[in-house]
Amino acid sequence: MAHDMRAPLRAMSSFAHILHDRYGSQLDESGLDMTNRISAAAERLDLLIVDVLNYTRVIKDKVQLSPIDLHQFLDDLIGTAQHWAPPRAHVRIEGNLPPVLAHKGFLTQCFSKLIDNAVKFVPPGRSPRVVISAQTEGQAVRIFIRDNGIGIARPNRARIFKMFERLSAAHDYPGTGMGLAIVHAAVERMRGRVGVESHRGAGSTFWLELKAA
């Protein structure tokens, strides 16, 4: 059903772009604004459907854990994400990251969502800085993703891992409200834990705890 819903959304977005490109000169300011709103709304709903599909895959797919070189994995992931690179953002690994038992696809979902959020949720005019580190705690490895963003007030920390929860206005920080719900589900499927330490205005430190390989 979700895949079927995406087809008309893509058509809506495509026709809105065609209308704007071919007939934009014949539209007044109000008409141009309407075509832009149609396109933006279709794209937002398409992103939401994609995230719902991702969430469904996470909770339904079979999970087979295997040893993953976390340092190499994150080095490769950071290196292929241009929007995390300077001057847009500064994402770096601090110290050594021990290997973990995980599912590579789920791990990619987790770190992509968490780093995307760390880069996105910063005050205007501030360059995002993200530091990833880890420490071994008995048979587990706890990975920290520390940012210099807007932070999260204490009463809201429990809410953020639920589906469709948004703490900021969509026009300030676009998103679907599904990212952290996907992270939470993926970590649980890998028999791990996830949490956050944060204060409003003072950045956040998200952590993932997975079994050491």
Tell me which residue range forms the domain holding 201: 66-211
Cα–Cα nearest to 115, from 205, 210, 212: 205
Say which CATH number the domain at 178 has: 3.30.565.10
Same domain (yes/no): 141, 173: yes
Beta bridge partners of 209: 142, 193
Same domain (yes/no): 150, 90: yes
Same domain (yes/no): 116, 185: yes
Same domain (yes/no): 42, 138: no
d(C-alpha 142, C-alpha 121), whole Å? 23
Task: Return all residues near 11 (Cβ < 8 A) that are at least 6 apart.
Answer: none
Residuewise pLDDT in 10s, the chain (213 residues): 777 878 888 888 899 889 989 998 998 999 888 888 888 888 888 877 887 888 788 778 788 999 999 999 999 999 988 889 888 999 999 999 999 999 998 999 899 999 999 999 898 888 999 999 999 988 999 999 999 998 887 767 777 877 666 665 444 556 667 788 889 999 999 999 999 998 888 899 999 999 999
Cα–Cα nearest to 78, from 58, 54, 97, 100: 97
Structural domain count of the chain: 2
> Of 20, 38, 60, which residue sits at a domain end?
60
What 8-state DSSP symbol labels residue 129? E
Cα–Cα nearest to 133, from 93, 160, 187: 93
